[in-house]
Structure 1
Amino acid sequence: MIVRIMGEGQVQIADGDLGVLNALDTELESAIEADDETTFRSALHALLDKVRHVGKPLADDALEPSELILPPADASIDEVREMLGDQGLIPG
């Protein structure tokens, strides 16, 4: 799966890593629903850090379509709330 972090580029994520990313996404959703800025910020950074850690960066000149687009680390809680789908940022 190709994932783009806005402002950073694209990474390839293995299917086996989606479970842990979904767990982090659930924490992020809960923080947004509770309107808890501190937990939101921590959960967003944990999710993005994990994507960076498990993802294999694509070349800067690669033009692959992104299957998921994640917000930048400095996104506000309202910006991320607008990006949430029925299954969070990461479906599954």
Structure 2
Amino acid sequence: MIVRIMGEGQVRLDDSHLPGLNELDDELLAEMENGDEAGFRRTLAALLDAVRSLGTPLPDDSLEPSELILPAPEATLDEVRAMLGEDGLFPADMPAGPR
């Protein structure tokens, strides 16, 4: 799957990493619902770091369509809320298994 981090670029991420990323996504969602700004910052950074480390960066001139768009590291709670679906940043119905 191709994932874009706003303001940074795209990475190719194997779907096998989705379960671990979904755990971070669930934690982020809970912190947002509780208004836990410090927890939100910490978990957003951990989620983006995980995507960066698990994914393979695509060249800057690549024009691949992104299947998932994640917020920039400096995004506010309100900006991330606007990006959320019912299941968080990672939809629950995303296919599992390598692509």
How far is the alpha carbon of 1:24 from its aligned partner?
Answer: 0.4
Partner of 1:60: 60
Partner of 2:6: 6
How far is the alpha carbon of 1:81 from its aligned partner?
Answer: 0.8
* TM superposition score normalised by structure 2: 0.91
Q: Report how many aligned residue pairs link the two structures.
A: 92
List per-residue Cα deviations over 1:47-89 (Å, max 9, x = no partner). 0000000000011111000000000000001110111001110
3-state SS, counterpart of residue 11 of structure 1: strand
Which 5+ residue runs of structure 2 have no aligned equivalent? 93-99
Partner of 1:24: 24
RMSD: 0.6
* TM superposition score normalised by structure 1: 0.97
Alignment-mate amino acid for residue 49 of structure 2: D
Stretches (4+) displaced over 2 A = none
Partner of 1:74: 74
